[in-house]
């Protein structure tokens, strides 16, 4: 009975809350408009934002521009910046880079970091203003010194390439690091390259791997490839073919030609993954389509080891993967089946052993005994019985061990 009363109470509350919210929104709009019409710059800006993003009112770029302009003309810096954006992108007004520059400059004079960066970009590429690399660098630095990560990246690139400023690898590294520490993926990758090549810093493969990994985890294809190479050749990290395959695959699925080429070799040799001439041919075929040196030769060599049926299957698989890559769709794991890393397998073996499942030595090598132990654990715990060794299994095993430990306290 109490549940029924509670549900009725909630229903009544919901029935009355929406009109209240609507009344509050209407009152907020009315109040903002009254103040805006009286010349209050803050209210004019708030009203412009409401129209710009459709907050409480239908989206209306013309009205947004009107109120941004009124606030901007009173020196309201955020309105000046947003009005510049409207002119830059042609929202509510015809696109006009000259007008955008005018309003960005007014915001820059008040120290607005994003305006400094955007105006720098316009100087950099000569959009709405004469190209001037030196002026671009000056503005990038102003925004970078305020901690704006994108400006730090562009300033680093300027020092790296000697554009608008004398080339200086140390200064480039300094600004790459500041942007990278804020999670800027391009800065992370470029900082890794600096450590890898010894530009602006001493060569340090471990530090390079650290930054490659951070960028790779954000989906940067070139970083994924570089991290794979590090695992493949044991540079800055212990050699691990399975990890190499994993990162090559992630880059290859984004269309990275050299990753596709290397992944083909890994499949052909059975390094870090079960040997598969079909998948070796399929990945190499994709690399050949991008004219990777050696890909056509490898494909011909692989073909000599394959039956006609295998070649047909590989060509069909290659065509399927190509469509996924072109449409920026992930390739289903069922079509790639990358095996778990040695670390993952060994950890699973250790946890299964602790829980009493016999599988022999925990050596990090996936085999029949390990799969059988995993299936037994899954069966005993009402889980899908697949025998697959992966991070999901590790999580369940760890939770099981914690629960067993708590039961014995």
Could you tell me which of 256, 249, 306 has the C-alpha nearest to residue 277?
306
**Would residue 168 count as lying in a domain?**
no
373 pLDDT more than 60:
yes
Could you tell me which of 219, 287, 267 has the C-alpha nearest to residue 247?
219
Whether residues 353 and 312 fall in one domain = no
The pLDDT score that the predictor gives to residue 372 is: 84
The pLDDT score that the predictor gives to residue 328 is: 80
44 pLDDT more than 90:
yes
Which residue's entry shows tokens 């999670």? 183
Whether residues 328 and 393 fall in one domain = no
Residues 32-52, mean pLDDT to the nearest whole number: 94
- What is the CA 354 to chain-centroid distance, rounded? 37
The whole-angstrom separation of Cα 306 and Cα 295 is 17
Which of 316, 339, 362 marks a domain boundary? 339
Whether residues 353 and 249 fall in one domain = no
Which residue's entry shows tokens 């698989």? 317
Least confident of 72-81, 122-131, 240-249, 386-395: 386-395
Whether residues 223 and 321 fall in one domain = yes
14 pLDDT more than 80:
no
The pLDDT score that the predictor gives to residue 7 is: 39
State the SS3 of 355-380. Answer: CCCCCCCCCCCCCHHHHHHHHHHHHH
Which of 339, 356, 381 marks a domain boundary? 339
339 pLDDT more than 80:
no
The pLDDT score that the predictor gives to residue 388 is: 76
156 pLDDT more than 70:
yes
**Would residue 253 count as lying in a domain?**
yes
Whether residues 332 and 354 fall in one domain = no
227 pLDDT more than 70:
yes
68 pLDDT more than 70:
yes
The pLDDT score that the predictor gives to residue 18 is: 45
Whether residues 329 and 233 fall in one domain = yes
**Would residue 258 count as lying in a domain?**
yes
Which of 301, 322, 339 marks a domain boundary? 339
Percentage of residues in the chain having pLDDT higher than 70? 89
The whole-angstrom separation of Cα 281 and Cα 395 is 35
CA distances from residue 66 to 28, 29, 37, 44, 92 in whole angstroms, order as listed:
19, 16, 12, 9, 9
Range of the domain at 370: 342-407
23 pLDDT more than 80:
no
For the ranges 230-234, 340-344, 359-363, the maximum mean pLDDT occurs at 230-234
- What is the CA 17 to chain-centroid distance, rounded? 39
The whole-angstrom separation of Cα 221 and Cα 248 is 9
Least confident of 7-11, 35-39, 364-368: 7-11
Label residue 257 by pLDDT band (50, 70, 90): very high
Residues 282-304, mean pLDDT to the nearest whole number: 96
The pLDDT score that the predictor gives to residue 145 is: 98
Whether residues 330 and 349 fall in one domain = no
150 pLDDT more than 50:
yes
Q: 354: domain CATH number?
A: 1.10.101
pTM of the model: 0.75
Q: 246: domain CATH number?
A: 1.25.40.10
Whether residues 233 and 296 fall in one domain = yes
The pLDDT score that the predictor gives to residue 129 is: 95
| Helices and strands per DSSP (H, E), number in the chain | 20, 0
**Would residue 154 count as lying in a domain?**
no
Split into its structural domains, the chain has a count of 2
Whether residues 265 and 365 fall in one domain = no
387 versus 3: the higher-pLDDT residue is 387
**Would residue 183 count as lying in a domain?**
no
1 pLDDT more than 70:
no
Residue 63: both structure tokens together: 């009205």
Label residue 5 by pLDDT band (50, 70, 90): very low
- Contact by Cβ (8 Å): 397, 355: yes
């Amino acid at each position: 009975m109490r549940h029924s009363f509670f549900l009725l109470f909630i229903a009544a509350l919901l029935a009355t809350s929406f009109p209240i919210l609507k009344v509050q929104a209407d009152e907020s709009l009315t109040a903002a408009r009254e103040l805006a019409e009286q010349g209050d710059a803050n209210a004019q800006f708030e009203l412009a934002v409401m129209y710009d993003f459709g907050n409480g009112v239908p989206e209306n770029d013309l009205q947004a521009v009107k109120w941004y302009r009124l606030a901007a003309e009173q020196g309201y810096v955020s309105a000046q910046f947003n009005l510049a954006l409207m002119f830059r992108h042609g929202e509510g007004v015809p696109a006009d880079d000259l007008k955008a520059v005018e309003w960005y400059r007014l915001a820059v004079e008040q120290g607005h970091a994003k305006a400094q960066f955007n105006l720098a970009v316009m100087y950099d590429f000569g959009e709405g203003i004469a190209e001037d690399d030196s002026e671009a660098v000056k503005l990038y630095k102003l925004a970078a010194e305020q901690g704006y990560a994108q400006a730090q990246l562009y300033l680093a690139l300027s020092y790296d390439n000697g554009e608008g400023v004398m080339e200086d690898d140390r200064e480039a590294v300094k600004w790459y690091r500041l942007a990278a520490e804020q999670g800027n993926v391009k800065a992370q990758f470029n900082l890794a390259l600096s450590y890898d090549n010894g530009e602006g810093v001493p060569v340090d493969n471990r530090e390079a791997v650290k930054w490659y990994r951070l960028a790779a985890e954000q989906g940067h294809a070139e970083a994924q490839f570089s991290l794979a190479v590090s695992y493949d050749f044991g540079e800055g990290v212990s050699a691990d073919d399975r990890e190499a395959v994993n990162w090559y695959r992630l880059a290859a699925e984004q269309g990275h030609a050299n990753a596709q080429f290397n992944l083909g070799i890994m499949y052909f040799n059975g390094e870090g993954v079960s040997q598969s001439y079909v998948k070796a041919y399929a990945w190499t075929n994709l690399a050949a389509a991008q004219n990777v040196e050696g890909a056509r030769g490898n494909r011909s060599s692989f073909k000599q080891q394959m039956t006609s049926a295998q070649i047909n299957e590989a060509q069909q698989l290659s065509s399927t993967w190509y469509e996924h890559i072109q449409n920026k769709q992930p390739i289903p794991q069922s079509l790639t089946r990358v095996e778990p890393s040695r670390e993952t397998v060994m950890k699973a073996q250790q946890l299964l052993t602790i829980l009493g499942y016999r599988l022999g030595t925990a050596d990090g090598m996936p085999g029949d005994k390990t799969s059988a132990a995993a299936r037994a654990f899954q069966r005993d715990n009402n889980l899908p019985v697949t025998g697959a060794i992966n991070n999901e299994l590790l999580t369940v095993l760890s939770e099981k061990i914690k629960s067993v430990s708590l039961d014995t306290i």
